[in-house]
């Protein structure tokens, strides 16, 4: 299922992706939703859904690297997710630590550069250490940027950006009249990154969930009923092919 937006003609197959780079999204962002419900439907513990979700992450990252997508941003853990049971959070931290260790070889082989956005408070030191190692190890890679949003909330991100700007005004480095959209963008966690062109959400939920609120102003939205553990390369292709048919006017008129 996808939102209804004016389209231009296309005959692309859902199982293939256009080789015309002008039709490919530069930056794909994904809200990976439905791990717990996938598990519950199968009478499995919720943590098994998270475990299976890692396989979907691997498939998606590899396919974006193969297609030379400039950036892939994955919503791994929201700032609101700390309300979940402690055993589930502990398992999520374990999965994150394990991913950072076990995927390094593949990340290096495919030239993927890892970045992380979000607040670091609450994340165990052992996990932060592995995150930092992976970021440093992959920093010179020239392929797809894999950005992981961990302990991330868009409202918190905007608040942090405004605090930084306010401090610069208080110290005289800036004037209030200097504040504009560009300055705010430069003080967000995503400073220097392109805005997402395509936002994908799994599990059929029709909401943004406090994810990249500033950055997705003109992103194309695509929603699938599939839960994240079920998400495949073919689903990614389908989303990208729908994106290729969208008429992106950015508030202007179609020529």
Q: Among 14, 35, 43, 81, which one carries the catalytic annotation? A: 81
pLDDT of residue 97: 97
Run of H or E residues at 93: helix 86-102
Catalytic residue among 14, 33, 197, 241: 33
Other CB atoms closer than 10 Å to residue 203's CB: what's the count? 20
Residue 190 resides in a domain: no
Predicted local confidence at residue 75, as pLDDT: 98
Residue 34 counted as domain residue? yes
Instruction: Give the count of domains, the chain.
Output: 1
The span from the CA of 213 to the CA of 190, in Å, is 12
Q: Report pLDDT for 67.
A: 96
- Asked if the structure places residue 67 within a domain, the reply is yes
Q: Is residue 53 part of a domain?
A: yes
Q: Is 81 a catalytic residue?
A: yes
CB-CB contact of 72 with 61 (8 Å):
yes
Contacts of 65-69 spanning 24+ positions with Cβ under 8 A: 65/110, 65/111, 65/112, 65/143, 65/144, 67/17, 67/24, 67/240, 68/21, 68/143, 68/144, 69/24, 69/25, 69/26, 69/27, 69/28, 69/144
Q: Let me know if 160 is a catalytic residue.
A: no
pLDDT mean values, one per 10 residues, the chain (255 residues): 36 55 90 97 96 97 97 96 92 96 96 98 96 98 98 98 98 97 98 98 97 97 98 97 87 62
32 in any annotated domain:
yes
Element (H, E) at 150: strand 145-152
Beta strand residue intervals within 21-70, DSSP E = 27-31
CATH of the domain at 44: 3.40.1180.10
- Predicted local distance difference test score (pLDDT) of residue 174: 97
For 94, the domain range is 24-153+197-245
Predicted pLDDT of residue 50: 96
From CA 245, how far away is CA 221, in angstroms rounded?
12
185 is a domain residue: no
| Residue 98 is assigned to a structural domain of this protein | yes
252 occurs within a structural domain:
no
């Amino acid at each position: 299922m996808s939102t209804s937006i004016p389209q231009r003609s296309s005959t692309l197959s859902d199982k293939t992706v256009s080789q015309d780079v002008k039709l490919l999204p530069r930056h794909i962002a994904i809200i990976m939703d439905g791990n717990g419900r996938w598990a519950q439907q199968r009478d499995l513990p919720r943590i098994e859904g998270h475990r299976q979700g890692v396989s979907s992450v691997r498939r998606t990252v590899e396919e974006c690297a193969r297609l030379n997508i400039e950036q892939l941003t994955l919503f791994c853990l929201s700032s609101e997710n700390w309300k979940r049971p402690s055993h589930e959070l502990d398992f999520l931290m374990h999965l994150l630590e394990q991913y950072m260790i076990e995927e390094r070889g593949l990340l290096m082989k495919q030239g993927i550069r890892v970045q992380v956005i979000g607040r670091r408070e609450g994340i165990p030191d052992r996990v932060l250490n592995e995150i930092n190692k992976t970021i440093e190890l992959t920093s010179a890679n020239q392929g797809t940027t894999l950005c992981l949003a961990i302990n991330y909330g868009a409202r918190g991100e905007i608040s942090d950006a405004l605090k930084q700007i306010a401090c610069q005004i208080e110290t005289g480095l800036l004037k209030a009249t200097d504040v504009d959209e560009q300055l705010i963008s430069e003080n967000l966690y995503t400073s220097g990154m392109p805005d997402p062109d395509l936002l994908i959400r799994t599990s059929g939920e029709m909401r943004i969930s406090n994810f990249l609120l500033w950055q997705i102003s003109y992103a194309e939205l695509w929603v699938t009923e599939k839960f994240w553990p079920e998400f495949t390369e073919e689903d990614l292709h389908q989303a990208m092919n729908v994106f290729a048919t969208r008429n992106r006017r950015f508030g202007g008129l179609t020529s």
